[in-house]
């Protein structure tokens, strides 16, 4: 059942879309009830004309980092009008066709609301968004230059809130190692020091994704990989990584 993992459930978007459809249903039922029972069309025809009205040409614009599609040409509406006006039935159907077109705007608003809600629930750049559940955190040494160290998981949970977003000087970090390399002979490559020689696994973000965290050699800097981005955080007061192995 592979698709279970590849399909991403975005809860906020789902709830918002469901709400939008519920509003539409209520609105159409309301219109139908208000419609003179002698004149109103059959229910299934209303569904068809609504879907036809929904059809439109739209442009996609990026707004607040979301792609918003704005309906501009009501093609479905035009087609319905041409066909129905010939047999003079347009009047009966027009309100449902127009609601179909209007639904485009409702969905547009839905996307905006969903984007707003996720930015409120999962604020970008705040460490708590990405390091939400750290109870399963485990430290793995990923580079030989890492010192023998002890990872205090409880202290880590406490320290997380003290971390602050900083600019990542990726080129600087890379070049620092290149310089080390130039100063060493080929057989001394085992002396190269990696800036982030640890990996912390088992961390989940608020959205429920697992987030790999690369830990700086001094235990005070973290590089977080999210689905789209990488963030660099530092805290001078972090003390969850202790050098040396405890005597216990």
Binding site for another protein (CB under 8 A): 140-145, 168, 170-171, 173-174, 177, 186, 189-190, 192, 194-197, 199, 201, 209-212, 214, 223, 225-230, 232
| Residue number with CB closer to another protein (20 or 127) | 127
Residue 108 CB, nearest approach to another protein (Å): 23
* Cβ at position 13, least distance to another protein in Å: 17
User: Cβ closer to another protein: 156 or 232?
Assistant: 232
Q: How far is the CB of 167 from another protein (least distance, A)?
A: 8
CB of 124 to another protein, least distance (A): 13
Q: Supply 195's token pair.
A: 């800036």
Q: Is the CB of 23 or the CB of 142 nearer to another protein?
A: 142
Q: How far is the CB of 233 from another protein (least distance, A)?
A: 13
Determine the Cα–Cα distance for residues 211 and 76; give it in Å rounded to an integer. Answer: 45
Nearer Cβ to another protein (55/214): 214
**Would you say 58 or 141 has its CB closer to another protein?**
141
CB closer to another protein out of 91 and 181: 181
**CB of residue 168 to another protein, shortest distance in Å:** 5
Helix axes 90-121, 43-54, angle to 10 degrees: 60
């Amino acid at each position: 059942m592979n698709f279970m993992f590849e399909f991403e459930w975005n809860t906020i978007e789902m709830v918002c879309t469901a709400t939008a459809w519920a509003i539409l249903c209520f609105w159409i039922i309301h219109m139908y009830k208000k419609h003179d029972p002698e004149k109103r069309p059959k229910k299934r025809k209303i569904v068809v004309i609504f879907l036809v009205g929904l059809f439109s040409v739209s442009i996609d614009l990026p707004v607040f980092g979301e792609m918003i599609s704005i309906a501009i040409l009501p093609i479905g509406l035009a087609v319905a009008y041409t066909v129905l006006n010939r047999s003079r039935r347009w009047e009966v159907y027009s309100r449902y066709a127009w609601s179909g077109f209007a639904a485009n705007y409702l969905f547009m608003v839905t996307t905006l609301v969903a984007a707003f809600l996720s930015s409120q629930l999962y604020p970008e750049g705040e460490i708590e968004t990405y390091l939400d559940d750290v109870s399963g955190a485990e430290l793995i040494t990923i580079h030989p230059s890492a010192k023998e160290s002890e990872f205090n998981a409880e202290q880590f949970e406490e320290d997380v809130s003290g971390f602050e977003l900083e600019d990542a000087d990726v080129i600087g970090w890379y070049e620092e190692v290149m310089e080390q390399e130039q100063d060493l002979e080929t057989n001394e490559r085992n002396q190269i020091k990696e800036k982030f020689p640890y990996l912390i696994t088992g961390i989940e973000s608020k959205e429920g994704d697992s987030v790999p965290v690369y830990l700086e050699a001094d235990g005070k800097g973290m590089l977080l990989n999210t689905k789209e981005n990488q963030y660099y955080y530092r805290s001078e007061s972090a003390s969850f990584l202790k050098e040396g192995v405890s005597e216990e």
